[in-house]
Every structure is written in structure tokens, then in C-alpha cells.
Amino acid sequence: MILLTGVAGGLLAGWGWARWHGRSYQAPILQYTWLIVVGFIPQLLIAYLPATHYAAPKWLAAVSLSGSLVLFLAFVWVNRGLPGMPVLLAGLMLNLIVIAANGGWMPISPETASRVAGEDVSPYVALGDRFGQKDILIRSQDMHFGLLADRFLLPAGSPYRVAFSAGDILITAGVFWLLAKPPAKDTPP
């Protein structure tokens, strides 16, 4: 959800800047976009499709999610010269570090998970079990790199409840920057 905010905000800012200067919006030219598609397929199957969400063994799901991040990193690395990509790269690296250190899943504390759910999750989700799409419930003191875990929440009263990490913030900022960055002055309208 937070990533979609970066995409929408970046496109809107880039389009607005272009219109303000009497130009048409020019999306960045990206190389090897197939890496994004191939990288998203495991996340789609493991995290987002209800029919396959729990079908894969936990270890295969964890490996698939980590592999997905590696493909995203490869895509960003190939396109690293574009605006925002270094920030996006840093965010992906932070997420990969915390996920790899916690068994292939993004850790979330019972306290944060309960704030997301709006109620105590301990009767429904045991420690070490999946929570949401890509998280695993781990006590804060048992997490590795806990500062990088899903620990931030959207403001109270937000219609969508979700926890996100420091890496997610950098990824969103990088995507926003990539899409909002105006073309060079010598680029024809």
C-alpha cells in the first residue's frame, strides 16, 4: 500500500511538473523490466492470491520471497543511474537484510500486529506463524535487526491498516523520486 502511494504521488508530481512547464510527462526509460514481472510472481502466489497463500510449505514461501527481492535488486542495480534508484536500492537492501536474518519473512511484533488488526492477535496467531501477506510474528526481543522490521503504521483513522518498515519508506521515496523527476532541460517536449 505504501508503495502505491509513492507510485501515484510520483506520477502526479511528475505530470504536474511537466504540465507546469508546458511539456508532456515522460516516464523514465527502464531496462530489464521483465525482472520486475518475474520477481513479482512469487510474491503474487505466496502473499496475495488466497488460493495459493498457504499452499506452499513455509520454507518454500520464505525462499521464494527472498528470491523475489533479489530479482528486484538486480532490476534496480541495472537501472541504478536513474534518479531515485540509489534510494530504492538502499530500501530493498534493508528489507532483504531483515528478511534474510529472520528466516525469509519480514518480522512483526505481536504489539504491532495487534495495532494493525485493531485487537490482540495472540489468540489467533502464534509466535512464528504468518501474519498478513509477508510477515511472521516474532517477539521484539527475538528479532534480528528489529529496527528494520515492519513497525510503522499509517496514521490513526486511516482507512487502510498496514505496518511497514524503514526499507519500505526508502523504497517508496525512491519510486516517488524516479517518477517525479522532470526530464532534462534539453529534452524536447
Task: Give the model confidence (pLDDT) of 66-122 as tens digits.
Answer: 999 999 999 999 999 999 999 999 999 999 999 999 999 999 999 999 999 889 998
Give the C-alpha separation, 91 to 56, whole Å. Answer: 27
pLDDT of residue 183: 58
Task: Give the model confidence (pLDDT) of 18-62 as tens digits.
Answer: 899 888 888 899 999 999 999 999 989 888 888 888 888 888 889
pLDDT of residue 172: 96
The secondary element (H helix, E strand) that includes residue 106 is strand 106-108
- The dihedrals phi and psi of 120, each to the nearest 5 degrees, come to -65, 125
Q: Which of 43-57, 134-148, 167-181 has the lowest mean pLDDT?
A: 43-57
Distances in Å between the Cα of 48 and the Cα atoms of 53, 77, 150 are 6, 26, 18
Q: How confident is the model at residue 186 (pLDDT cuts 50, 70, 90)?
A: very low
In one letter, which amino acid is 124? Y
